[in-house]
Chains A and B, each alone.
Chain A
Amino acid sequence: MRYVDEYRDADKARALAARIAQLCEPGRQYKFMEVCGGHTHTIYKHGIEDYLPEAITLVHGPGCPVCVIPMGRVDDAIHLAEQSSVIMASFGDMMRVPGGSRSFLDAKAAGCDIRMVYSPLDALKLARQNPDRRVVFMAIGFETTAPSTAMTVLRAARDGLTNFSVFSNHVTIIPAIKAILDSPDLRLDGFLGPGHVSTVIGCTPYDFIAAQHAKPLVVAGFEPLDILQSIYQLMVQLSEGRSEIENQYSRVVAWAGNAKALSVLTEVFELRPQFEWRGLGFISHSALQVREKYAAFDAERLFELPGVRVADPKACQCGEVLKGVLKPWECKVFGTACTPETPIGTCMVSPEGACAAYYNFGRFSRERLQQAGSPLAVISR
C-alpha cells in the first residue's frame, strides 16, 4: 500500500539500526522520551525496540489524550449523560475510561444514551437528527483534535443550533513537557516530538527545550521508519554535542504550523487558569475552555456539574508512568489487578497508553525467548 509500505521497509530499518548503533558511545546510556501516545503505539505495534541497541531506552511520555483525563472529569461527563434530555457523543477509546466508580460503557449499560462517534461533526449530525434532545460532545485531545472541535462549534453557531454543546477536556502539550522537564526524578537525553500536534502548533513552541534545557527534540512521524530515523537524528545531535529542534516529519509538519487551525482554536478556546492532569496533578495554563462568546455551546456553562475531584486510586502509578519515571511493568498493579479489560489507571485503557501498549504488544521477554531457545530470539535481533 502506497504511503505506508515504504515507511515499513525492514532492509532500510536494519541499515538505520546499524548507523544508530555506531553512534552509541561505549558505556553511555541514552534515554529518549516519545511524548506522543501515537508513537508509543507504533513502537510496540511494529516491535521497533527490537532494532535498538541495549544502550538506548525509550521512555513513554504523557501525550495520550485519554490517559491524562482525571477521574473527576469522567464523573462529570457521566453526570451529563445521566440527564434524560442528553445524548452524549464520545470517541470510542473514551468508553472504557474509569471514573470514580464507573465508565461510559457501564453508564451506557445502565441506560444512559452514549453514542460512539468518529468525529465531532458526527455529534453535530446527531444534534440535527434529534432536535428534542441536547447533544453533548465529549471533547478530548491535544492540539491535534482541538481545532476540529473548534470548527464544529463554529459550524453549530453558523447554523444556529441550540441543542449542541461540547464538554471541553482539551489539553495543550507544552505545559506537560515543561512539567516533565521540571520533574526532579527523570534524566532524559532528548525527545521525539509529537508529530500530529506539531502539524497544528509547528516547531517553534519547542525552542525552550533546546535553549533552556539543552535537550534535542526531533518532531517525528508515525510510521516505524519515521521513529527510527528520528532516533538516528537525536543520536547524531548528541554525538556532535548539539541540542536543536529538528523536523523529521516535514512531509506533514510545516515549521510554522497550521495558521488556519490555530486561528480557529483561538477564536473558540482560551486557556484555563489551571487543569488537573491524571497522575501529573494541577498544571496551570495547560487546558482549553470555551470562550464566553460561544457560551451557548459550552456544556460547563449550560449544565450544573458536580465538579468533584476524585483522587487517583492509591495502587495506581499512572503518574509515574506518564512522567516516564516507571516502566509500565514496574507498576505494582500492572497486569494483575490492572489489565486492559479491568483498567485501574487510564494508561491501561487507550491503545495509545503506555501500559496498554506494553500489555497488548510487548508483554513477552526476549530473555525468556532466548532461554527457551525459541527461533524468535534469533529473528528479533
Chain B
Amino acid sequence: MTTTGELELRVLDRIDKARRRKAKITDERVTLAHGAGGKASQTLTDAVFLEAFRNPLLEPLSDQAVFGIGNARLAFSTDSYVVRPLFFPGGDIGDLAVNGTVNDLAMAGARPLYLSAGFILEEGFPLESLTRVVASMARAANAAGVQIVTGDTKVVERGKADGCYLNTAGIGVIEHPFALTADAVKPGDAVLISGPIGEHGVTVMLARGELDIDSDLCSDTAPLHGIVADLLTAVDGVRCLRDATRGGVATIVNEIARAADVAVVFDERAIPMRAEVRGAAELLGIDPLYLACEGRFVAFVEGAQADAALASLRAHPLGTGAAIIGRVVADPPGLVLLKTEFGGTRIVDVLIGDPLPRIC
C-alpha cells in the first residue's frame, strides 16, 4: 500500500521534472510579466534569446560575459533603464544606469573601465530634465571611476518612451584569479548580503505617489566594485556574487540554487531590513525578498570563511549593514527554503510576474 506521504512525494518528483523541462513560450505576445525578472523573464530569455544566440559565453546567463583578450581577462555587460518616475529619493535614472552596469561588472569581480550610453528620448522631453539626468550620470561615473566613452541618441514621437529610456554597456578588467560562477557554489557555503534589502524597490513604488504612503526611504543605488574588491582581497573562498536587482534576493538565489543544484536555507530573522521597508511590504502584501535593490549584493562564501567575509563587508561604508543570511545544503536540490521567524519552514520561489512594473 502506498501512503499519502509516498503519493505526495511522487507528485513532488513529477513537479520537479516539469520545472526542469526546457522552457517553451506559449504566449502570443510579450506581456509585462516577461520583463519582471521572474519565471516569465527566464522563459523568454531561454526560449527566444538563448535559442537564437547560443554560445558558451552567453550560456551561463550571468549578468556579464567574461573572456580573455591577450593576457587580460575582461568582463562585458549591458543593461537598459526604463524606471518610472525618472527622479526618486536617493537617485534617478541617470545614476541607476551607471551604477547598474558598473555593478554587473563588479559581480565578476571586475574593475569597471569604460561605459557606453544610449539615450532614447521622447519628443517634448524637457531639456532641463535631460541635463539633470546627464549630470547625475557624470557624477556617478566620476564616483565609480569609470568614463563614458561612446554613446548614441534617438528621439521618438511623443507618447512613445515615457520621457527617457537609457541603455548602458560597460567593460571592466578582472585582476583576481577567482572564477566566481554559480556552479561553484557547494553545500556548506554561507550566504551573505551586503546590506538591508528592498530600499530601492519600496522607494520607487512610493515615489509614484499612487499609494499615499510617505517615508524617509531612499534608493540604495551605489557602485559596488570597491566593496567587492575589498572582499576578494580579504578572503579567497568567495564562490559567487550577484547583485539583488530585479526580482530581489529571492530570485537571484533561486537562479544560483538551480545552477549549482543545491538548496539554500535562509534564516528570516537574519535578513537585514529597515523598519520602513518591512512596514510598507506588510501593508502592501509584498514579500521583501522580491524587492529590488540597486546597491546590495549576495555573496556565496566558503563556510569556514563566512565570518572573515562578513568582517570585510562591514568594514566598507556600503556594507555596514551586512549579514550572514543563510547557508547552502545539499537537499532538496534546486530549492530555496526559508526558516521563518515564527519557526516554520517554507519555500521561497522565483517571482512570478511583477505587480509593480518598471522599477529599474
Known A-B contacts A10-B342, A116-B355, A372-B330; A108 and B40 likewise in contact (beta carbons under 8 Å) = no
Residue with the highest number of chain B CB atoms closer than 10 Å, among A4, A8, A342, A363 = A363
Known A-B contacts A1-B278, A44-B346, A96-B353; A365 and B31 likewise in contact (beta carbons under 8 Å) = no
Residue B214 at the chain A interface, CB threshold 8 Å: no
- Docked Cα-Cα span, A105 to B352, in Å, equals 13
Choose the segment among B8-16, B165-173, B191-199 that binds chain A (4+ C-beta atoms closer than 8 Å).
B8-16
| B347 contacts A363, C-beta separation under 8 Å | yes
Residue B282 at the chain A interface, CB threshold 8 Å: yes
The 8 A CB mask of B279-293 against A (1 = contact, 0 = none) is 100101100000000
| B329 contacts A47, C-beta separation under 8 Å | no
Residue A273 at the chain B interface, CB threshold 8 Å: no
| A341 contacts B39, C-beta separation under 8 Å | yes
Choose the segment among A48-56, A229-237, A298-306 that binds chain B (4+ C-beta atoms closer than 8 Å).
A48-56
B contact residues around A110 at 8 Å (CB): 29
**Residue B332 contacts which of A10, A106, A369, A380 (CB distance < 8 angstroms)?**
A369
Known A-B contacts A106-B27, A334-B15, A380-B345; A1 and B331 likewise in contact (beta carbons under 8 Å) = no
| B342 contacts A105, C-beta separation under 8 Å | no
| B344 contacts A380, C-beta separation under 8 Å | yes
| B29 contacts A364, C-beta separation under 8 Å | no
Cβ of B32 to closest chain A Cβ, rounded Å: 7
Residue B150 at the chain A interface, CB threshold 8 Å: no
B contact residues around A50 at 8 Å (CB): 343-345
- Docked Cα-Cα span, A368 to B333, in Å, equals 11
| A49 contacts B14, C-beta separation under 8 Å | no
Cβ of B345 to closest chain A Cβ, rounded Å: 5
| A364 contacts B337, C-beta separation under 8 Å | yes
| B343 contacts A47, C-beta separation under 8 Å | yes
Cβ of A264 to closest chain B Cβ, rounded Å: 21
- Docked Cα-Cα span, A124 to B150, in Å, equals 47
Please name the residue on chain A nearest to B333 by beta carbon: A372
- Docked Cα-Cα span, A362 to B355, in Å, equals 22
Tell me the number of A-to-B contacts counted with CB atoms below 8 Å. 144
B contact residues around A373 at 8 Å (CB): 331
Q: Which of B324-350 contact A (CB under 8 A)?
A: 329-332, 335, 337, 339-347, 349
**Residue B31 contacts which of A93, A108, A361, A379 (CB distance < 8 angstroms)?**
A108
Residue A351 at the chain B interface, CB threshold 8 Å: yes
Dominant SS among interface residues on chain B: mixed
Q: Which of A332-356 contact B (CB under 8 A)?
A: 334-336, 339-342, 351
Q: Which of B19-52 contact A (CB under 8 A)?
A: 26-33, 39-40, 43
Known A-B contacts A105-B33, A118-B210, A335-B18; A365 and B5 likewise in contact (beta carbons under 8 Å) = yes
Cβ of B251 to closest chain A Cβ, rounded Å: 13
A contact residues around B343 at 8 Å (CB): 10, 13-14, 47, 50-51
**Residue B345 contacts which of A93, A339, A376 (CB distance < 8 angstroms)?**
A376
B contact residues around A132 at 8 Å (CB): none
A contact residues around B15 at 8 Å (CB): 334-336, 363
- Docked Cα-Cα span, A8 to B341, in Å, equals 7
B contact residues around A155 at 8 Å (CB): none
| A342 contacts B26, C-beta separation under 8 Å | yes
| B342 contacts A224, C-beta separation under 8 Å | yes
| A336 contacts B18, C-beta separation under 8 Å | yes
Residue B113 at the chain A interface, CB threshold 8 Å: no
B contact residues around A376 at 8 Å (CB): 265, 329, 337, 339, 345
| B331 contacts A372, C-beta separation under 8 Å | yes
Q: Which of A104-149 contact B (CB under 8 A)?
A: 105-106, 108-110, 116, 118, 122
- Docked Cα-Cα span, A376 to B330, in Å, equals 11
Residue A374 at the chain B interface, CB threshold 8 Å: yes
B interface list, Cβ under 8 A from A: 5, 7-9, 11-12, 14-15, 18, 26-33, 39-40, 43, 210-211, 263, 265, 275, 278-279, 282, 284-285, 329-332, 335, 337, 339-347, 349, 352-353, 355
A interface list, Cβ under 8 A from B: 1, 4, 8-10, 13-14, 44-51, 92-93, 95-96, 105-106, 108-110, 116, 118, 122, 224-225, 329-330, 334-336, 339-342, 351, 359-365, 367-369, 372-376, 379-380
Nearest first, the 6 A-B pairs at minimum CB distance are: A47-B344, A335-B15, A372-B331, A10-B343, A361-B346, A92-B355
